[in-house]
Amino acid sequence: MKWFPPLSMRQKLLASFGVILLLLVAIGGVAYNGIAAILESQKALYGQDFANVSDIKEIRARQNAIRANGLAMTVVPGRAEQEALKQQMDTWAGDVADRLNQLLERTSGDPRLHAKLEEFNAIRIAFHATRQTEIYPLIFQGKIAEAQALILGIQRTRNEQMDTIADALTQETDAQASAAVQRSNQAAQDSIRTFGAVLVAALLFGLAVTLLVTRVTRQIQDAVNVLGSSANEIVAATTQVAAGSAETAAAVNETSITVEEVKQTALLASEKARDVAARAQQAAQISQDGSRAVAASVAGMHGIQQQMESVASGILKLSEQSQAIGEIIAAVNNLAEQSNLLAVNAAIEAAKAGEQGRGFAVVAQEVKSLAEQSKQATAQVRTILGDIQKATSSAILAAERGAKAVEAGLTQTREAGEAIRLLAESVAAAAQAATQIAASSQQQLVGMDQVALAMENIKQASAQNAASTTQTEKAAQNLHEIGQRLKELVGQYRRSAT
């Protein structure tokens, strides 16, 4: 039982090409969705997450600096120096509040991160309230020991709590960034697999359609080949018969029909020659357009080469600046080590001073702690700078390879331009030859008209050779049968195509 009515050859071809088109549309849609997912993940990764981490680290550094300045206020000698430190801490506190408010607004869509930031902000507010209402008055009243006790007690505890929350926020943000990377990779892999499967299906379907069309074409080609062979036999036999045939009306009529067919063929050949000449002129115009396009491509490649040279120069400058930063980091590390040594010496001197040097010992301990933090930060920056220098070296090598590739592409483009120029000259010559062929075909058509008129006046012919006559009859019979077969095949093809 057939579920669908029989389809014509044209309908089959249209349906096949329609399916291929749908498959290609599906490929484009899948590729677009995969790329959109990758871009969305990368946007989440490299945008808000790293901005949040940077702000958290900056807020944490400001808080540590404020606490260190608070201790410094307890040991500076004059009121003016204390006021200057107080003004600086108030400025830093305002900057911390602004950054934290912006961070809270950006993370409003993430409840967990927002809640931790609010907890951090509450501790920060309590920290600064203690400084404003208790520590400053004690310092200005000369109660240094009590102020130091608050700084080393309540404020240190709150500072450690804020450090703990800041570490947790940084780890969670990094985890979100890693998850975004995994989603991006998964989306890219899914797109690649789906794209490959659909592409293979499209290729297999196209191959099946090609095989079907090739099978029908091969049958027609075989029949045409046999027809050509039989026609050659008829021509040879007719030549022999013409040498010794006698004058007959049937021979004259048959020859007249053959000449008429040749005349129609010559007419068709003349029309095709004119069409070829017109197309050759179009090809010459297209070749000239191609030459102009290649010239524009050469100019564009020159611009790309100049841009690559500019990029390479910028990367070299970046490498030089990275080396200068390395020298600065070495100086900072040396300063931290000297500060650490100075703090140890200060602690020793404070111990010798006894009760009077206790406050100075506290400051020395804090200086030592800050020196250790500076060394750790310097080590981290040195590691990051090393990675940057490695990446810069890789970028330099890539820029050099890119410059070489651009130079090679420029050479190839010039060679292609020369080849297209030569092709344009050849096409122009071919167009001129096609025009001459069209004129010659027109002359042949006029000559065939004269031959057809002359065939009406043929009265004599030689006697037929017996063997040649038999061969001619057999070849004519074969030609008739093959012609019928070819006519049936062509009829079937035309009916199926319509």
The token duo for 362 is: 């506290």
The token duo for 38 is: 């990758």
Amino acid at 207: L
What is the domain partition of the chain in residue ranges? 8-245+462-498
Low-confidence residues of the chain: pLDDT under 50: 1, 45-46
β partners of residue 462? 246
Which residue from 294, 489, 312 is spatially nearest to 404, judged by alpha carbons? 312
pLDDT tens track for 378-414: 888 878 878 877 887 887 787 778 778 878 877 887 8
pLDDT for 484 equals 78
β partners of residue 246? 462
Going from the C-alpha of 475 to that of each of 206, 431, 457, the distances in angstroms are: 42, 41, 28
Q: How far apart are CA 155 and CA 373, in angstroms?
A: 18
Q: How far apart are CA 319 and CA 157, in angstroms?
A: 43
Judge whether 396 and 311 are in contact, CB under 8 Å: no
pLDDT for 262 equals 66
pLDDT tens track for 9-64: 656 666 766 777 677 667 667 666 765 665 565 555 445 666 677 778 888 788 88
Q: How far apart are CA 260 and CA 448, in angstroms?
A: 8
Helix (H, G, I), strand (E, B) or coil at 199: helix
Rounded to a whole number of angstroms, the distance between the first and last alpha carbons of the chain is 25
The token duo for 329 is: 């980091």
Q: How far apart are CA 264 and CA 214, in angstroms?
A: 30
The label of the residue with tokens 């390879």 reads: 401
DSSP 143: -
Judge whether 368 and 347 are in contact, CB under 8 Å: yes
